[in-house]
Structure 1
Amino acid sequence: MTLLYHTPLSHQTQRDLGIPHPAPMALADRVRFSELDVLKHVNNAVYMHWFEQVRVRYVQSHGLAQSLMSPDDPRIVIRSANIHYKSEMRMNEDYVVTCHCTAFRNTSFSLAQTLWSGGTLRATFDCVMVLLTPDGQARYPIPKAVRDTFITVDGAQPAAG
């Protein structure tokens, strides 16, 4: 199988790569030398960068922000986050990072992200994202079309409370 880097992967491609529960957004890449630490494995901070790259593509694909630089786009910030490292990554490994919404409220939503390589789960990242007005002074409601996408594409549900 030829793995396309930086291109959203289909559900079937994700399954073929050993990902049991495909996500609406999944991107592949390969570990670079510059991402290694002195122990010759991927530096922990690099995982955060990988997760962020996929989150940016995810919010764009779901219509939350077109450019992320437009003065009219809402600010999207992480309110809380938890990363769990499961297994180290090494030079030249292909990997896939996935992202999907698990729940949402009026102005915030929860994302679950996973990192896979060779059919093995290597790390997970769960976070709560909050939308703010472009000036950052107030909460920004999630548009109905985005809420509908969370439900129909991601299988997310409104959070209780």
Structure 2
Amino acid sequence: MTEHEKFHVRIKVRHYELDTLGHLNHAVYHSYGEVARLERMERAGLLSSGMRELKLAAVLLESHIVFRRELRAGDEVDVTCDVKFGSGKTFHMDSNITKADGTLAAEITCTLGLMDLERRKLVDDPRGRLEQAGMDMDVLLGA
């Protein structure tokens, strides 16, 4: 990924992911978004960061999808992941699923939090806590 290239993951729609109408099952769209979120976090150092030592984990709190176009077996899609932090205990990781020809197939918006695994509560300042754990924020945010 170059500095000007938008983060994305390429996924091929598999036959076993289809519903009875012959297009991608609605739940699989969410799975594709999860693939992009985890890939972005892994590239930013999730697996090598101190999250485990700090007993922190990202948790999905809300996911919303808008279906724009159907996807069928054999289609290849690019799934983006944009990360946005604000104030408070939550942050957003949003995705677009786009066909190879550029057609927008779905938009996914997700709200996440960072959970203290001992207290089972969301922590304040998730961005600061991710930085503290050693995540590469430039990679995570696409800076």
The interval holding the TM-score normalised by the smaller chain is 0.7 to 0.9
Match of 1:17 in 2: none
The answer to which of 134-143 and 107-116 deviates more is 134-143
The aligned length equals 135
Once the 2 structures are TM-superposed, how far is the Cα of residue 89 of structure 1 from its aligned partner?
Answer: 0.4
Do structure 1's residue 75 and structure 2's residue 57 form an aligned pair? yes
Q: Aligned residues: percent identity?
A: 22
Indicate the RMSD between aligned Cα atoms, in angstroms.
Answer: 2.9
> Once the two structures are superposed, what CA deviation does each residue of 1:8-67 show, in whole Å capped at 9, x if it has no partner?
x5576x6xxxxxxx2xx310021111011111111111101111111111222234x327
> Once the two structures are superposed, what CA deviation does each residue of 1:44-93 show, in whole Å capped at 9, x if it has no partner?
11101111111111222234x32799464512112222100000001101
Do structure 1's residue 91 and structure 2's residue 80 form an aligned pair? no
Distance (Å, rounded) in 2 between the aligned partners of 1:91 and 1:51 = 18
Whether the aligned pair in 2 keeps the contact of 1:31 and 1:92 (CA below 8 Å) is yes
**Normalised TM-score (structure 1):** 0.70
Structure of higher RCO (CA pairs closer than 8 Å, 6+ residues apart): 2
Paired AA for residue 60 in structure 2:
I
The answer to which of 103-112 and 77-86 deviates more is 103-112
Paired AA for residue 44 in structure 2:
H
Match of 2:13 in 1: 31
Match of 2:114 in 1: 131
